[in-house]
Structures are given as C-alpha cells and as structure tokens.
Amino acid sequence: MIIVKDLKRYYGTGETAVKALKGVSFEIKKGEFVAIMGASGSGKTTLLRILALLDDATDGEYTIRGLQVSSLPEAERSYYRLTQVGYVFQDYALINEMSAAENVYVLSMMEGKSRKKSYETALEALDKVGLKGKHKRIPDELSGGEKQRVAIARAIAKKPDILFADEPCANLDTNNSKQVLDVFKELNEKYGQTIVMVTHEPWHTEYVDRVITLEDGNLVSDEKKQKG
C-alpha cells in the first residue's frame, strides 16, 4: 500500500545541512498497524509528516497505492489529505471554538456531504472512539484523553486509507494512553484500518503488528510482532 524508497529530508544546504532522514526505504501493507520508534531526533516525526503530506521530502520516492504522492501539487495534496489520509497530532490540534462534533464534521462538509449527513457521520465516529453523548462539548470541556479521541474521530470519520498518529499518547497518562491505543487496536482489528504511529514508549508496541526503528535518520530495524 505504501512504498517508501530512499526517502531523504535535509534542512538547510551544504555542510551545515541537518540530515533528518538519510535515505529510508520500507513498505507497509494494507491493514497493518505499524509503530515507528526511535530516540528523540531520530527522524521518526519527520518521516510521518512526509508520509502524511504535511512536509516535503528532499529526495526519494513515496507512493500510496501506486500513486507518486510526493510530487503532487498542493491542491491535490490538500484533497489527498482530506480524503485518503487521517492524521492524529501529538497535541490533539483541535479547533477550540468548535464542538467535538463540529471538529469532526467540518471535514465531511468539505467533502461535500450535507450538514445532516456530516453530523451523523461525526456522531458515528465519536461513538466509535467512545465519546457518545459528548459531541456538544468544546475541547476545553474535555480531558486530554477525550480530546485525543476527538482527534482520532476526526481522522477516521472520513474513512481514510491510512491513519497516521504522531505520538498520540505523549500528553496522556497511562490510563488515557491505554484508552487511545485500545481505540487504535479496535479500528485496526475490527475495521482493517491501516495505522502508522510514531511512539517512543516500548509498551505501545504491544498493540502493533510491526515496529520500524529509526536511528539518526536511518532505518535500523524493521520487525514483525505478535500483538499482545
């Protein structure tokens, strides 16, 4: 589903250039739940941002279902982000002035669905992540775990091909982290959702099928796992 070939990302040029990714290659199959791990500065978040079309690679190829997405113009990348890719930010990245439901259904409206249909889709997605009855709350009225689940609902409401999550539990306590990971696990197992998650917590790997480890911008290991 995802093929990454010799992906590089340099910040700056010449000898002072910071080489965040030095040529990473791997493939991810549909329905896989992959964790990208590594120490701080290893390039894992940079890699995820490029995969989610939030940033550009300096060099290399990146295809999703055979489409060379890395070279798409901005308008198409925007459409791709809207329809094919879900992204969960570390700090939730919700719009504070929108309720949980509005944060989710604004994307369905963007896709051209009616307001009613969008609202129903949002409620369904919020229900999926265990936030039934909390759709009218604004982010300030939700706990950290609940906010992250709204962010997940927003990412999955459009039924994306791939769900990317950038350290989704970084700001959460263990209990809330487990709730979020359980949601991912259920999405993956029940709905076959492909998930690529950046994390630095070793215990998160209990939930995933595969762990890709980066070190200093290089892929140093890629191992399949038995889910716990």
Partner 1 sequence: MINDIRVGSLIAYCSVKRGNKKTLMFIVFVLSLIFMNLVFLPSMIGGMTVLFTGMMQDYPYGDIVIEPSGDNTYINNADNVLQKVRAVEGVRAATKRLDVGASIEHKQKVVGVTVTGLLPTEEREVSRYPYIISEGDFLGDLSRDEIIIGAMIAGTGFGSEIYDNLGEVRPGSLVDVTYSNGVKRTYKVKGIMEGTFELVDLNALVNYKEIEEVYGLEESKATSVVVRVDKQGSEEQIQDKIREAGVNEQVFTWADKSETLIKQAMQSMGAIDVMSKFVSLVVGAALVLIIIYINVLNRKKEIGILKAVGITPRSIVLSYAFLSMFYVSLGIFTGLILYLTLMFYFQANPVTFYETMEIRPQIDPVLLIESIVTMLTLSVIAGILPAWSVSRESILKAIWGR
CA 145, CA 206: separation in Å to the nearest integer? 19
97 binds partner 1 (CB under 8 A): yes
**93 is a site residue for partner 1 (CB under 8 A):** yes
Residue 102 interacts with partner 1 (CB under 8 A): yes or no: yes
Coil, strand or helix: which one is 93?
A: coil
Among 8-16, 29-37, 86-94, 206-214, which window interacts with partner 1 (CB under 8 A)? 86-94
Tell me: does residue 33 bind partner 1 (CB under 8 A).
no
Q: Between residue 145 and residue 164, which ones bind partner 1 under the rule CB under 8 A?
A: 154-155, 158
- Distance in angstroms (rounded) separating the CA atoms of residues 161 and 31: 9
Binding of partner 1 by 98 (CB under 8 A): yes
Report d(CA 37, CA 195) in Å as an integer.
Answer: 14
Q: Binding-site residue total for partner 1 (CB under 8 A)?
A: 32
Provide, rounded to whole angstroms, the least separation between the CB of residue 113 and partner 1. Answer: 9
Is there a contact between 131 and 153 (Cβ–Cβ < 8 Å)?
yes
**The one among 33, 87, 119, 207 contacting partner 1 by CB under 8 A:** 87
Helix orientation angle between 115-128 and 100-110, rounded to the nearest 10 degrees: 130
Selected from 58, 83, 171, 218, the binder of partner 1 by CB under 8 A is 83
170 belongs to the binding site for partner 1 (CB under 8 A): no
Q: Considering only 9-17, 98-106, 123-131, 175-183, which stretch makes contact with partner 1 by CB under 8 A?
A: 98-106
Write down the H helix ranges in 52-143. Answer: 74-83, 100-110, 115-128
- Of 178, 225, 228, residue with least CA distance to 37: 225
78 is a contact residue toward partner 1 (CB under 8 A): yes
User: Does the protein bind partner 1 through residue 72 (CB under 8 A)?
Assistant: no
- x/- mask, partner 1, residues 177-196, rule CB under 8 A, reads --------------------
Least gap, CB of 5 to partner 1 (angstroms): 23
CA 62, CA 131: separation in Å to the nearest integer?
35
* Torsion from C-alpha of 152, 158, 159, 162, nearest 10 degrees: -70
Q: Which residues contact 129 (CB under 8 A, 6 or more apart)?
A: 149, 150, 152, 153, 156, 183
Q: Which residues bind partner 1 (CB under 8 A)?
A: 49, 52, 54-55, 75, 78-79, 81-83, 85, 87, 89, 93-99, 102, 106-107, 109-112, 115, 138, 154-155, 158
